[in-house]
Amino acid sequence: MRSETFPRRPFPLHKWLGKALFYGTLALLSLSVVWPFWWMFTSAFKKTYEIFAFPPTLLPHTWNWQNFLDAFTYQPFALHYINSLYIAVLVTLGTLFFSSMAGYAFARIPFWGSASIFLLLLSALMMPPEVTIVPNFILMQTFKLINTHVPLIIIPIFGANGVMSTFMMRQFFLNIPKEIEEAARMDGLNRFGIYWRVVLPMAKPALAAVAILTFLFSWNNFLDPLIYLNDIKLFTLPLSLRNFTDAYGQPQWNIQLAATVMSVLPVLIFYIIAQKQVMESFTSSGLKG
């Protein structure tokens, strides 16, 4: 049989123009977000006088890699990097453990006053963190934990960040069918076994979102280290970045920007890779319950 060929219909011109206008508008709007990152990354390779040159240069005249080496020789930047890393990991693991258990209890275990306690817990989100600085400082001072990393680990786990994580986990657990728990109970699992072996593996999207947001919160935390730490060897990255100054107290912008790039780049890449997981968790756990 002869196959009939039909001529392709040309793509309408107005659709091409519409798509071009749409993507052009998005490109222009993205400049406000892309430009600060571009300026930071390129300025990390510049001399100080070139950073503030007008008109600004899109690329450095000479790529000055010495800025990155100076960041490690000016102060113990590598130690500060390790401090931030291990604190963020401990805070993330602790938040995952306690918020998942608390969220499961509020979602699945009926007990007297659960609604009132959960409402009281949520009220912590309405309180600015600055309000709790003084009582938290007095509490840490009473236990002689000032100038240690303990407050930087405990306070985020049981503070507003932990409350938000508990809320996210509760909303996710509410969406899990009760028949799954009933089947697990018939198989002989107790309440903790159901939580650990059945429910928790199903909550991987919510756990991933909590882990990412908690890690970013701890990694970027500036106020708590500023209050509780005095020893430069205990500093975290936010405090370390503030410490690149000359003898007159003026910022050494080229070294500071190089250190900023090294502190931002790993987290930025990690967040870009995992942002889909975060959005999926918000849409699946925040609309019901």
Tally of residues, the chain: 289
Please say if the pLDDT value at position 286 is more than 60. Answer: no
Mean pLDDT for all residues in the chain: 84
In a domain, 54, yes or no: no
pLDDT band at 12 (very low <50, low <70, confident <90, very high): low
CA dihedral sign of residues 200, 206, 207, 208? positive
More confident call, 9 vs 85: 85
What's the pLDDT at 289?
A: 40
Higher pLDDT, 236 or 31: 236
Omega within 30 of 0 (cis) for the link into 251: no
Give SS3 for 102: helix
**pLDDT confidence of residue 106:** 92
**259 within domain boundaries:** yes
Check which CATH number belongs to the domain holding 108 and give it. 1.10.3720.10
For residue 41, being part of any structural domain is answered with no
Residue 68 in any domain: the answer is no
The answer on pLDDT for 277 being more than 70 is: no
For residue 187, being part of any structural domain is answered with yes
pTM exceeds 0.85: no
Question: Structural domain of residue 169, as residue ranges?
Answer: 77-285
> What pLDDT, in 10s, does the model give residues 37-88?
888 888 888 888 888 888 878 888 888 888 899 889 888 999 999 999 999 9
In a domain? residue 46: no
Q: How many domains does the chain have?
A: 1
Q: Is 121 domain-assigned?
A: yes
Contact yes or no for 104/169 (Cβ under 8 A): yes
pLDDT tens digits, 232-269: 999 999 999 888 887 777 888 888 899 999 998 878 77
